[in-house]
Chain A
Amino acid sequence: MENNNNENIENMVKAVFEEERNSDAILPPPYMKTRILARFREKKQKTGGVLMLWKQIALSGAALAIVIVFGLRFFADDFIRANLNTPLAVKVEIGELKKANVAYAEIVLPDGVVFYSKKFPELNKESSLVLDWEVAVRNGHLPFIIEGIGEGNKVIVLKFYDLSNRLIAEKTLKVSFDKKRS
């Protein structure tokens, strides 16, 4: 008896919602899609169009020579050594920037260094990437993968901006790419 009563109530509630749904009583305003797409274009313009790819870049599955974890305060003055033509995973600890209202970060690569992505190999054509902070930062780190394709000392620059596009901080990562030793 109780179950029948509950089932009746359930059906009655669903019927009320269904009636309203079928009547199209609640419809999105016609301009909503336009506004969303305008924001989409604005965001794309600001971030150079490659933002959407970032979440898809996988750290696993690549032949990673080294995973470097860098604290922002402790970027070494000396060059770290890495093999040429081998993906290098970098995880930048963002500790001191957690409270700094960073909106996005820009990673600028010198000649001879490219971004590495198995899934999106076309990223290697980009000399810089702009990353939405909320999207890119994971577990207190900003991760990215690079590959040295030219021998020698290279300086990778990381820039951190706020919502007003003001530069909050800038750090450098120095890597010396050498041919693989046998």
Chain B
Amino acid sequence: MDWKYNFKEIITSAQKGDEQAFSLIIENTQKKFFRFCTYLCFDVHLAQDICQDVYIKAIESLKEFESEAKLYSWLFKVAKNHYIDYSRNKDNQEFIDLDNLSAEECQQDSIEMKIEIKEILQKIAPDFRMALILVDGEGHSYQEAAEIIGISEDALRSRLHKARKYFIAKSKK
């Protein structure tokens, strides 16, 4: 079955327990979904665990998604919730306070090396991080991203703006 042309049929079959259909869903979404989870968790092993748990949850909760975009929105939202549950049980992590960023912190690093996206993302709080990943990383609209994160569109724009400034300052090659 072709993923694009038979998308709805594949979803329906997977809902009924068809393993082949479910396998197609994983094959066609895992690359983007795993990347999202890795950026979200900045821990590859945790990203793997979350991916697996969310896919298993998807078996039971697949709705009749109109499109691949809706499917991804669902996967991302559930992954975000899993990550939040996980991080609640961890020791409080310190993040850069993007709401009160100093001019110094916004300056580009003088060290001439490429800093990985993950390294930058792990320094910023989850809501700011998710805003960057969803809008700039994965191309979601502000509305879609706000819905996935569970904040207003205005709050999303604000966080995105602050996160972008910090991000670009630190991602110098």
Q: Measuring CB to CB, which residues of chain B are less than 8 angstroms from any residue of chain A?
A: 14-17, 19, 22-23, 26-27, 30-31, 33-35, 38-39, 48, 51-52, 55-56, 59-62, 117, 132, 136-137, 161, 164-165, 167-168, 171
Contact = CB atoms under 8 A, between A and B. Distances in A.
A45 B38 CA distance: 31
Contacts of B31: 27-28
A36 B165 contact: no
Main secondary structure of the interface of B (DSSP, over half): helix
Please list the 7 inter-chain residue pairs (A to B) with the smallest Cβ-Cβ separation, ordered nearest first. A28-B34, A17-B137, A52-B17, A135-B60, A26-B35, A13-B136, A28-B30
A40 B171 CA distance: 40
A16 B117 contact: yes
A135 B15 CA distance: 13
Interface of A: 6, 9-10, 12-14, 16-17, 20-21, 26-29, 32-33, 35-37, 39-41, 43-44, 49-56, 132, 134-135
30 contacts: A10-B136, A10-B164, A13-B136, A13-B168, A13-B171, A14-B136, A16-B117, A16-B171, A26-B34, A26-B38, A28-B30, A28-B33, A28-B48, A32-B26, A32-B30, A33-B26, A35-B52, A36-B26, A37-B19, A40-B59, A41-B19, A43-B56, A50-B17, A51-B60, A52-B60, A52-B62, A55-B15, A134-B60, A135-B60, A135-B61
Contacts of A27: 31, 34
B115 to A, nearest CB: 10
Contacts of B167: 13, 16
Given A21-B35, A33-B27, A55 B59 contact: no
A53 B61 CA distance: 10
A21 B137 CA distance: 8
Nearest to B120: A16
Contacts of A132: 60
Nearest to B138: A17
A43 B55 CA distance: 12
